[in-house]
Structure 1
């Protein structure tokens, strides 16, 4: 009985995480991030998996990248600039946290 309860709890936690990941992907789509980025391949901008790999282990990456998402930037991934995005600071952090979770 304890094993069954444990299994149900683990599945519920797993579905909660999957739902959050999907919500953040939906936010990326809603904010038009996916017009220039894809999870696993370079489009206009870098693949999110490449961004996650580049910043893996960087404790300040979320704040640094959230600021870039909000203000835009140029030069980190080439000469094509990323325009400023119409996102709140909280949305920018959610997007970056999701991006950095890509493997």
Structure 2
């Protein structure tokens, strides 16, 4: 719970801090594009599918945690491994993914 509170506060701080946004370059640099694409399913879901599924649901903090720690069962049997990203990078990546409507 404490970790989730930290993520929520950091996410809120990033959202209030201005227009700094991730882009496809960060996703490529962090190897996200090895399993995901913007508009088609690869190993994992397309980013457009992720944005549509979680739009308006206030799930950004949970998605940030999933990017950092990995996840399983949200999109099928193949688990998403943890990623070597900082909290700020994870927040930027989630913000970018959620813009892929």
TM-score (norm 1): 0.76
Measured after TM superposition, the shift of residue 24 of structure 1 is 1.9
Q: Which has the higher helix share?
A: 1
Partners of 2:87 and 2:23 in 1: how far apart?
14
Which residue matches 1:7?
A: none
> Which of 60, 63, 68 does residue 62 from structure 1 map onto?
60
Which residue matches 1:82?
A: 80
Measured after TM superposition, the shift of residue 62 of structure 1 is 1.2
Partners of 1:91 and 1:66 in 2: how far apart?
9
Structure 1: which 5+ runs fail to align?
Answer: 1-16
Q: Does 1:24 align with 2:38?
A: no
Higher relative contact order (CA 8 A, sep 6+): 2
Which residue matches 2:71?
A: 73
SS at match of 2:88: helix
Q: Larger Cα Rg: Structure 1 or Structure 2?
A: 1
Partners of 2:48 and 2:55 in 1: how far apart?
10
**TM-superposition CA deviations, 1:19-38 (whole Å, max 9, x none):** x66x5211000000000000
TM-score (norm 2): 0.78
**TM-superposition CA deviations, 1:14-57 (whole Å, max 9, x none):** xxx7xx66x52110000000000000000000000000000011
| Number of equivalenced pairs | 83
**TM-superposition CA deviations, 1:31-88 (whole Å, max 9, x none):** 00000000000000000000000001112x1111000000001100000010000000
